[in-house]
Amino acid sequence: MNTHSQTASWKAPAKVPRHIAIIMDGNGRWAAQRKLPRSMGHRSGVEAVRRTVRAATELGVQHLTLFSFSSENWTRPAEEVNDLMGLIKRFIRGDLAELHQNGVRISVIGARAGIDPDLLALIDEAVDLTSDNTSLNLIIAFNYGARAEITEAARRLAERVKRGELEPDAITPELLGQALDTSAIPDPELLIRTSGEVRLSNFLLWQCAYTEFVFLPVLWPDFGREHLETAIDEFAQRERRFGGVVSQTAE
């Protein structure tokens, strides 16, 4: 596929999603197809992350959330988990300067418990250094699970009720949303999942109530700008109703 010629001829739709979330799936299968260790699939997946961040910035996306490591991924073999942690460390060390120079702000959502202190320090450094950047808000969902996030938000509200700061009747969807990790981030307009799998896998369950889903058969290490453009084009053709009726032909 000639990526350059496709990119040069691609005409952006009138409305590019403000916030795109991606479930980066298929690293293991990509490696298996090539008779390579899974670690090589994860390494190639990092290259896809770099391509996607650059493309999202160039296409005018304001927020990009990547599902990098779920709270369920700890059940994978220890060697694979350690390799993933090492990749994340190397990505921050090797790419932070370029991301900062390009105006990318880094945010991280997910639980901090159980994370290696050295990695937490690197994450905090990246978040602090880029906090004033405005070209793209890159949100990394790390050690993240949506059910745990919603449970923790409910627990925070319950503590406020217990302290007498909040009446139970005052709890609204908006208030619960403000207690989530993503309280300062608009809900995704578009969610992309690669590898052909068609499920959310405990990712942004609350935030994706009215998100448009695009499932692509491409494995994540092969994902590039042309695939992002394809998903945006499909999004642009959707009629978003948010539970109401927009089109006069809709019933």
Query: 3-state SS string over 118-171?
Result: HHHHHHHHHHHHCCCCCCEEEEEEEEECHHHHHHHHHHHHHHHHHCCCCCHHHC
Question: Number of helices (H) and strands (E), helices first, in the chain?
Answer: 8, 6
Catalytic residues: 25, 73
Closest CA to 214 of 224, 225, 226, 228: 228
The residues, ordered by sequence, that sit 6+ positions from 203 with a Cβ below 8 Å of its Cβ are 21, 23, 67, 70, 141, 144, 146, 191
Task: Enter the DSSP assignment of 185.
Answer: S
